[in-house]
Structure 1
Amino acid sequence: MTKWNDQTVVVTGGAGFIGANLCARLLDGGAQVICIDNLQTGRLENLRDFAHHDRFEFIQHDVIDPLPRLRLPARSRICRVYHLAGAASPPHYQADPEHTLLTAVLGTRNMLSLSEQSGARFFLASTSEVYGDPEVHPQHEDYRGSVNCTGPRACYDEGKRSAETLAFDFYRARRADVRVARIFNTYGPKMRSDDGRVVSNIVCQALSGQDITIYGDGSQTRSFCFVDDLIEGLTRLMESDRAAGMPVNLGNPNELSVRQLVDLVVDKTSTTSRITFKDLPEDDPRRRRPDISRAQEFLDWTPQVTLDHGLDATVAWFQAEQHRAAAPLYADAPLIAAAE
């Protein structure tokens, strides 16, 4: 495991699904973690396990707005900035498309400026959505994508493409040391039950006995990466000197159809749910599978967790969430830090 002993690391979107898992990994590695989240889609519940940690600080803030002055430990500076802020599932990012786009553009500019001022290495969480409904399969980083720039997903797709543009312009101007990951479908503990993405939808519907919804005929494919594997890839990319200034796909190249995923979840949960079909959303990608040869070459990274094991862990987590006591999480913890 990479060690960040006493390094100060900023994580935007740190109360979200991937962000909270990243915060946990950084704390385990010895980092001082400043988590920034506006809690639009992030949840304080995701920070439950380390809310009282003496090397963890949470600031409720929207990265669209100018950053408050950050309180740093004595004789410390920010060494790493992970920029993960932004709604990542269609129901959430389409609910406020203007905010989605501004988070990608203004939020990225603000965090790049923080990296420039502090001399910190900058990481941008981009997405496989930059490839749109791809005409090339599997998707390699050199593929320029097929994105509908006026469609209902454009606020996210084009927002992330613009964020990459800003990041690489800062890199070319030597204003920031940039790493960019294009993240493919990720699942695992700390997902929201109302996340709106396919794994959480299917698992939660199955556990509750509700009808399981398949959009289209279920033949569309995805490649699902367990969150622990993704976090390993993110941290390796951040610490890599060879992968500077280039996009890197991070995802699991094992491709399966949505209908196959439903069958696996039904088997694991022994649900009595019925399967229903609805129209496929506009611009929903028909196939998605990452070419991870760049990550294998530059990061020595390949996903290790099988879908079978990852789904077991995800189902168990959602089952535990259903039974978790609804007690106040932070009644005695000064979790939300006051900015200076």
Structure 2
Amino acid sequence: MYKPPNSEQVRVDIEEILKADLPWKSLSGKRVLVTGASGMLAAYVVETLLLLTEYFDCVPPVVTALVRNRDKAEKRFSRYLNSPNFKISSEDICRSLEAEDYPGIGVIIHGASIPRPDGKSPVEVMAPNILGTWNLLNLARELPGFEQFLYFSSGIVNGENIKSDLPISEDMFFPSSCTGPTACYTESKRAGEAICLAFMRQYGIPVKLLRYFGSYGPGMDLYNDQRAFTSFVKNAVNGEDIVLLSSGEETRFWCYITDATEAFFRVFFSSVSGEAWNIANNEAGCTIREFAQTACELSPNGKSSVRIDPSKIPSGYTPFQSQQITVPDITKLRSMGFMPKVPVREGLRRTIKAYLK
């Protein structure tokens, strides 16, 4: 079951994004291919492009949304289905793509990914990051006048065993296992970045790598995404208690979707290619337990609570507060004019509101 977010809240968010001082009119008439288009991050990019002409005098961009689940995409983009500037395609990016099927495409935004390690289907996790990236870059090679390729990566590529007193910048890397259960996600995201840069170096395709940290907001798939923070929002929307399966003492930095989308477009409009950017809000750090508690406080009945199930905490568990906190460094992004705006409580308020009837 997929429940799309409330279109009213999404529209308010998009209006906020479009207030950023960016060269929006330069998107006039561009033909853009977006993979994984019904995912949370990519969907906001799609809607920003489709609503552009309501706020600026320009020729509307033409967006092709490439998705695995057409039914989900039609629910997410129901208001645009009759627009001549929007098309849904369910072609498999893990198979060869023909340039004749995508005439005039100048930009590819590759957001297709299963956004978590999955012990049951690790091959499906790896495929879009490796095969999909390879096929899309080969497609870009065949498109006349191709402009840029943007790859949705993850902060996980910096490593899983991070030990540093410094904020983690784009050029800092730490160990991670290539044989452990999370390797399907970590290593395929790393491989995706390497593939992008290889195609740029050998074939001259301009690529940009966006490493997202802790993104959340309307568009999260509450009933199919099993990640903890998504479940917290689902529990809050349904007025249910949140049960933590750990002590919840790990600090993370949470980036609401409007900040993440504005950051995306700042990178999009940048003239610099061949680099990575951390996409994060390094002012919005809180523990997982605090995140869950805030979601409970914002639930519609106001009676939800957080509790810990001790039986689920691994033997010998070490509280995260005794470990170092990994802070994403967004100096590069700030140098482009980016300033995160949405604190955790406000972001969760908007997110929960988006799923209430």
The aligned runs of 1:213-224 (5 Å cut-off) are: 213-224=243-254
Q: Is the CA contact 1:223–1:252 (under 8 Å) kept in the aligned structure 2? A: yes
Q: How many residues align?
A: 311
Match of 2:49 among 19, 22, 26: 26
Q: CA 1:107/1:87 → structure 2, altered by over 3 Å: closer, same or farther?
A: same
Match status 1:15 vs 2:38: yes
CA distance in 1, matches of 2:122, 2:238: 30
Scaled by the length of structure 2, what TM-score is found? 0.81
List gaps (5 residues or longer) in structure 1: 321-340
The aligned runs of 1:318-333 (5 Å cut-off) are: 318-320=355-357
Match status 1:247 vs 2:276: yes
The residue that corresponds to 1:338 in the other structure is: none
Residue by residue, what CA displacement relative to the aligned partner does 1:57-110 show, whole Å, maximum 9, x if unpaired? 0001221111255555xxx611111001111034xx443111211211110011
CA distance in 1, matches of 2:64, 2:77: 12
The residue that corresponds to 2:10 in the other structure is: none
List gaps (5 residues or longer) in structure 2: 1-17, 19-23, 53-59
The aligned runs of 1:229-308 (5 Å cut-off) are: 229-242=259-272, 244-253=273-282, 254-269=284-299, 270-277=302-309, 278-279=312-313, 287-297=325-335, 299-308=336-345
Q: Percent identity?
A: 26
The aligned runs of 1:43-54 (5 Å cut-off) are: 43-54=73-84
CA distance in 1, matches of 2:196, 2:72: 24
Q: Is the CA contact 2:236–2:298 (under 8 Å) kept in the aligned structure 1? A: no
**CA offset at residue 209 of structure 1?**
3.8
CA distance in 2, matches of 1:40, 1:78: 21
Residue by residue, what CA displacement relative to the aligned partner does 1:140-185 show, whole Å, maximum 9, x if unpaired? 1111132121111111110000000011111222431011111111
Q: Is the CA contact 1:13–1:85 (under 8 Å) kept in the aligned structure 2? A: yes
Q: CA 1:308/1:44 → structure 2, altered by over 3 Å: closer, same or farther?
A: same
CA distance in 2, matches of 1:200, 1:98: 23
CA distance in 1, matches of 2:71, 2:243: 22
CA distance in 2, matches of 1:163, 1:183: 14
Q: Is the CA contact 1:213–1:275 (under 8 Å) kept in the aligned structure 2? A: yes
Match of 1:108 among 114, 130, 133: 133
Q: Which amino acid aligns with 1:291?
A: D
CA distance in 1, matches of 2:163, 2:279: 19
**CA offset at residue 51 of structure 1?**
2.3
Q: CA 1:156/1:80 → structure 2, altered by over 3 Å: closer, same or farther?
A: same
Match of 1:39 among 69, 78, 81: 69
The residue that corresponds to 1:65 in the other structure is: 95
Q: CA 1:84/1:248 → structure 2, altered by over 3 Å: closer, same or farther?
A: same
CA distance in 1, matches of 2:120, 2:83: 34
Q: Is the CA contact 1:211–1:276 (under 8 Å) kept in the aligned structure 2? A: no
Match of 2:122 among 77, 93, 97: 97
Q: CA 1:43/1:215 → structure 2, altered by over 3 Å: closer, same or farther?
A: farther
The residue that corresponds to 1:332 in the other structure is: none
Give the 3-state SS of the residue equivalent to 1:319 in structure 2. Answer: coil
